[in-house]
Amino acid sequence: MNDFAPEPAGFIQIRGARQHNLKHLDLDLPRGRLTVITGVSGSGKSSLAFDTLYAEGQRRYVESVSSYAKQFLDRLPRPDVDSIHGLMPAVAIQQVAPARSARSTVGTTTELHDYLRLLFARLGTVHCGACGRPVLADSPQSIAREALGWAAGETLLVLAPVALAERMSWAEQAAHLLTAGYTRLLREGEVVPLEPLPKLKRGTKQVLLVLDRFTWDPKERDRLVDSCEQAFRRGEGRLALQRGDRPRETRSERWECSHCGAAAVRPEPALFSFNSPLGVCPTCRGFGNVLTFTLERIVPDPGKTLREGAIDPWARSWRKLFWPRLEKLAQEHGIPLDTPWKKLAAAHRRLLIEGGEGFRGAIPFLERLQQKSYKAGNRFIVRRYQSALPCTACGGQRLRPEALRVRLGGRSIAEVAALTVAEAAAFLAGLSFGAGEREIAGPVLKELESRLRFLLRVDLGYLTLDRLTRTLSGGEAQRI
């Protein structure tokens, strides 16, 4: 950029501006006049006004003052532009800059994500990670509420599963149960007394004690609650229900699958936060991507030969160390040193990148450097050859599997966050809840709908809730 070219009279002349969103812009602005720059979000208004005109005007002014004064003035980077003529020292009142955190999203900035976490924790349905079925923690009261919908007149058995001790005989354990007041058990679908001693199949590990047997009627609700409380205590948080000839139902006070017994996590708001140790994906640590060594970074120019430095890590300060090793490897395996990388045999390329017996490839070499990341130089070298790729553990959704298995309206919280503001508003409006659930959901939905309506009013309905705030334009960031 020529700072000393003749100044055009009456105009600020911009040529080849490429800063941020600008696409080689040529523009003449009248000097000493009020000029308004307008356009849609992301069109480059701020890039032109602040990052190009103001940055260059301030830079030239700072260069004109004494060395002593320069130490007290902030310096902006030189903008990406071919030339600017007719520019005077500039003063700028700038809008609020968007957050630069790699974790901040539209949802977290507007608190939408906080209310979604609360909604999923209180009303979401946990699904088993092993069999995919819903996981519900039961209680005597929840069973009694469910029983109000059962048909009256069916025989109901309330059963408590009791594990048998390996070091005691069945006779001794049956005697203890009789002493505790239990007189019947369910064996192969039949209720049998504990006295005389019933025979069990070899290898039996648990028995089902019959705590109560009666004909179900809604008037027996209190009796059912009492029986379930006793069964949960005796069964250490588990019980079984046998209604007539229906299949036996297993219930649990614990957060575990009643079908396969797999453990589940009790949903709490922190479980749905990628900023919390409880909810963060352990692989990507809540960023949604992981830094991975990629061939495109290691071999940036496939047209180069090995002699010309096709493998970039070994073409710099490490060349003296690795070139003799490359020559030796080439002789042993017949690898041509003067053939472009893209024309080398696939086996040769794989050997050079991944390594083999007696030879450490480019990726193992970089991984070894990464292990010594306490050295600042190593960190810079390693980062040069890494790309941010979507995390394979969470699919880029930033949360641990237990959080993603909680669903509301058929969606996980990550799937809701991937919706646009307009789509999220429609999704929440379409949710249906029972009477008790509406009392819980009401205040939370009110806050969510209020924030979504505001974003729609300021024409941001196209933004997704998981959009990183650092990727927003200045106008978008100011409006949220």
Residue type, position 435, single letter: A
pLDDT average, residue stretch 358-365:
90
Q: Tell me the domains of the chain and their CATH numbers.
A: 11-85 (no CATH), 138-252 (3.30.190.20), 289-390 (1.10.8.280)
Query: How does DSSP classify residue 256?
Result: B
Residues 313, 305: Cα–Cα separation, whole Å: 14
Contact predicate 19/52, CB 8 Å: yes
pLDDT tens figures, 1-29: 555 455 556 889 999 999 988 888 999 99
Q: What is the mean pLDDT of the chain?
A: 89
pLDDT tens figures, 28-74: 999 888 889 888 877 888 888 888 988 888 888 888 877 777 677 77
pLDDT value for 470: 87
pLDDT tens figures, 100-127: 677 899 999 999 999 999 999 999 999 9
pLDDT average, residue stretch 73-79:
79
Residue in this structure with the two tokens 């007149």, named with its chain if needed: 153
Alpha helices in 88-158 (DSSP H): 106-109, 112-123, 140-147
pLDDT tens figures, 421-465: 999 999 999 999 877 788 889 999 999 999 999 999 999 999 999
pLDDT average, residue stretch 138-158:
91
CA angle 364, 365, 366 (to 5 degrees): 90
Residues 43, 22: Cα–Cα separation, whole Å: 8
Contact predicate 147/430, CB 8 Å: no
Distance of CA 55 to the CA centre of its chain: 37
Confidence label for 350 from pLDDT (cuts 50, 70 and 90): very high
pLDDT value for 44: 85
pLDDT value for 99: 57
Residue type, position 333, single letter: H
Residue 395 has pLDDT above 60, yes or no: yes
Residue 296 has pLDDT above 90, yes or no: yes
CA atoms within a 13 Å half-sphere pointing along the CA-CB vector of 451: 21
Q: By percentage, how much of the chain surpasses pLDDT 70?
A: 95
pLDDT average, residue stretch 198-221:
93
Q: Could you tell me the pTM of the whole model?
A: 0.68
Contact predicate 88/117, CB 8 Å: no
Which carries the bigger pLDDT value, residue 161 or residue 378? 161
Omega within 30 of 0 (cis) for the link into 196: yes
DSSP strand pairing (125-127 vs 134-135): antiparallel
Residues 275, 117: Cα–Cα separation, whole Å: 12
Among the ranges given (34-38, 314-318, 366-370), the one the predictor scored with the smallest mean pLDDT: 314-318
